[in-house]
Structure 1
Amino acid sequence: MAELSLSILDQSPVSEGMAAEEALQNTVELAKHAEKWGYRRFWVSEHHDSAALAGSSPEVLISYIAAKTSRIRIGSGGVMLTHYSAFKVAENFRVLSGLAPGRIDLGVGRAPGGMPRATYALHNGERRNIDRFPAQIDELQMYLHDAIDPEDKLYGLKATPVTNTNPEVWLLGSSQKSAALAAEKGLPYAYAQFINGEGGPEAMRTYLKQFKPSPYLKEPKNIAAVFVCCAETDEEAQRLNASMELARILLEQGIPSDGLPSPEKAFAYPYSRFERAHIEENRKNMVIGSPKKVKDTLLRLADVYGTDEIMLVSNMYRFEDKLRSFELIAKEML
């Protein structure tokens, strides 16, 4: 396997007592440091109607980050395509490609990125048609590559501006179905282990085995996205990770949250026996520990997933701790 590259997916997390403006600026600051430390790409997510995650519009955030950086690839992790017109997404990302040529990734997903009321609002009360997702991917590529069939009534239509470079389109997912779809379409595939740790390696094997070369990609190209928390010692990493563990427990039970809780609040929380067991289960899909432990685990995961790139996701109460986590990993591995 080639040398392992590392990338970052940031969700612009909001800690308790933090303003959304600060969370967004933290994302920009992290991107600037990620470029300096040698990370390969920096993606931002799309979440709606969330007090805990500030990133609702990846296109806008990408443009700002691209202006604040000069080399690192910037992208969406991802655009929830079923909410939008494929034509408009193509135009948005051609604008971005014109502003930052050769640096833009367009990751697309099928998930809603929020609760049902947000989906209702995004679709003006109409039903979201997830069955059209495969066709929307084809439409997106058609607009990006000016490949409208001459017999099509839209022939001659251009997704403007017509730029010299296009974004690199990635299909995002966390299931066998998404892996098979990426293979069928001949697209790069990013598997979100931080969302679904069950069956990830099997899904990736499906992608690698079933991949069909396309006009956009001749050989399979893949990423595994994992949750990570690194500190100088294993004990300190576990302490910092307590914030995310409590946040995840509350989210899974539908309990409203004003943001990511502090480690102190997490340690004081009266967990039930069921919740403690659930935390232990969740930890199996997280990478938590000292720089050496994190490195060893990431190298093993890269081998398991058959990839030369791992994308790291990290949410911590204090931004300084999160920044230090990525710096420690970079010093150990990049």
Structure 2
Amino acid sequence: MVKLGILDYAQIDEGSNAQAALQSTVILAQLAESLGYERFWVAEHHNVPAFASTSPELIIMRLADATKRIRIGSGGVMLPHYSPYKVAENFRILEAFHPNRIDLGMGNTIGTALVNRTLNEKKKGKLNYEQSIIDLTKYLNDQVDESHRFHGITANPVIRTVPEMWVLSTSVKSAKMAANLGIGYTFGLFPNASMDKVNLGIQAAHTYREEFKASVFMSKPKVSIAPFVVVADTNEQAEEYAKAADLWHLGNDNFSQFGAFPSVETARNYRCTEEEKTIIRQNRTRMVVGDIDSVTAQLNELIVQFGADELMLIPLMPDQEAREKALELLAEAFI
């Protein structure tokens, strides 16, 4: 049976605020645990008014404290901005407080030009992404040997367990890297609008499984797939929610057109240009939309195509109650 996970953005709904959004994330994680979900991840986004998930490490600690069993992690830490050494220390502390429950999911999205400049002020350059991940594996496993450029450094605190490491990716290249390092592979169906990404993802997942080498982080390959999911009791209701997601996905003004995630009413009253209608049609390739029967069929098709072990689902929907209902419907279908 495929395992379920949730990737959450600490979404600020129209009429709500950041504090309420963060509390809603706690409630959603607790609900996911009670329903039998395997893991709950939080994203990293900067300068996006609709999302409060700017620091996944801090949110992870709060969520892990508020739950007992479910794995809690990042989806993901955007490594190009950070020192792998500091990331290793952060996640060792998380793992020390909550052994065998922490996931370190990593990505390489740099954000908008302004975000990138701000997070890397006065830096002369950036470490190669693959080298960053290699360094992380060494720091977390105390394998900084004499061949490493920082021989003699230790990521404290030194503990007996390691977080699960996952690469969030849309490429075969990253799949090969994850396989060689013995860490998990999550293929993102959500980041880009493309008709070809399923075929690319199938190839990446196959390559990852073929080349996987067991490690202290993972004894066998694990493949998860991550789409946006909009599900409700009826197709009509799901379509109403999806229109709000469509509006947000336009990304106007670097996702700053709306001060919060748009409501169903705002989406209903919005008048799209012809260009925006084209973008919306393209963006639907990133989403699985419908009632639970329709969504189950669509997800099962993806599971078979990818040979996926897990679904990392992103319920990007307006209204906390709708997101909670989505988790319940998905759990009934898959758990």
| Interval containing the TM-score (normalised by the shorter chain) | over 0.9
Does 2:228 match 1:227? yes
Distance 1:123 1:54, change over 3 A: same
Partner amino acid for 1:68?
A: A
Partner amino acid for 2:134?
A: D
Distance 2:271 2:152 in 1: 63
For 1:118-144, what per-residue CA distance to the aligned partner results, in whole angstroms no more than 9, with x for missing partners?
221211233552x61111111111111
Distance 2:68 2:185 in 1: 25
Distance 2:104 2:254 in 1: 32
Alignment check: 8 A CA contact 1:250 1:257 kept: no
Distance 1:230 1:139, change over 3 A: same
Name the structure 1 match of 2:89. Answer: 91
* DSSP-derived class of the 1:284 partner: helix
Does 2:123 match 1:122? no
Name the structure 1 match of 2:130. Answer: 134
Q: Which moved more, 1:248-257 or 1:221-230?
A: 248-257
Name the structure 2 match of 1:159. Answer: 155
Alignment check: 8 A CA contact 1:120 1:127 kept: no
For the aligned residue pairs, the C-alpha RMSD in angstroms reads: 1.9
Distance 2:18 2:125 in 1: 28
* Structure-to-structure mapping, 1:56-75, within 5 angstroms: 56-75=54-73
Name the structure 2 match of 1:195. Answer: 191
Partner amino acid for 2:277?
A: R
Does 2:179 match 1:183? yes
* Structure-to-structure mapping, 1:1-334, within 5 angstroms: 3-112=1-110, 114-126=111-123, 128-129=125-126, 132-150=128-146, 152=148, 154-196=150-192, 197=194, 198=197, 199-214=200-215, 216-251=217-252, 256-334=257-335
Distance 1:42 1:120 in 2: 30
Partner amino acid for 2:113?
A: P
Matched positions, count: 330
Distance 1:252 1:333, change over 3 A: farther
Distance 1:272 1:153, change over 3 A: closer
Distance 1:52 1:107 in 2: 22
Partner amino acid for 2:144?
A: I
Distance 2:188 2:129 in 1: 18
How far off its partner does 1:252 sit?
8.2
Gaps of 5+ in 2: none
* DSSP-derived class of the 1:244 partner: helix
Partner amino acid for 2:165?
A: V
State the percentage of identical aligned residues.
Answer: 40
How far off its partner does 1:202 sit?
2.8
How far off its partner does 1:276 sit?
2.1
Distance 2:13 2:3 in 1: 29
How far off its partner does 1:156 sit?
4.0
How far off its partner does 1:164 sit?
1.7
Distance 1:305 1:149, change over 3 A: same
* DSSP-derived class of the 2:145 partner: coil
Distance 1:207 1:153, change over 3 A: closer
How far off its partner does 1:18 sit?
1.9
For 1:21-76, what per-residue CA distance to the aligned partner results, in whole angstroms no more than 9, with x for missing partners?
11111111100000000110000011111111110100000000000000000000
Distance 1:251 1:193, change over 3 A: farther
Distance 1:286 1:252 in 2: 22
Distance 2:42 2:187 in 1: 15
Distance 1:313 1:31 in 2: 13
Distance 1:96 1:333, change over 3 A: same
Distance 2:51 2:62 in 1: 18
How far off its partner does 1:201 sit?
2.4
Q: Which moved more, 1:151-160 or 1:243-252?
A: 151-160
Using the size of structure 1 for normalisation, the TM-score is 0.93
For 1:150-206, what per-residue CA distance to the aligned partner results, in whole angstroms no more than 9, with x for missing partners?
455744432111112111111111223322322333321111101135232233233
Distance 1:222 1:84 in 2: 26
Alignment check: 8 A CA contact 2:179 2:208 kept: yes
Alignment check: 8 A CA contact 1:90 1:140 kept: yes
Alignment check: 8 A CA contact 1:291 1:329 kept: yes
How far off its partner does 1:213 sit?
4.3
* DSSP-derived class of the 2:76 partner: strand
Alignment check: 8 A CA contact 1:119 1:128 kept: no
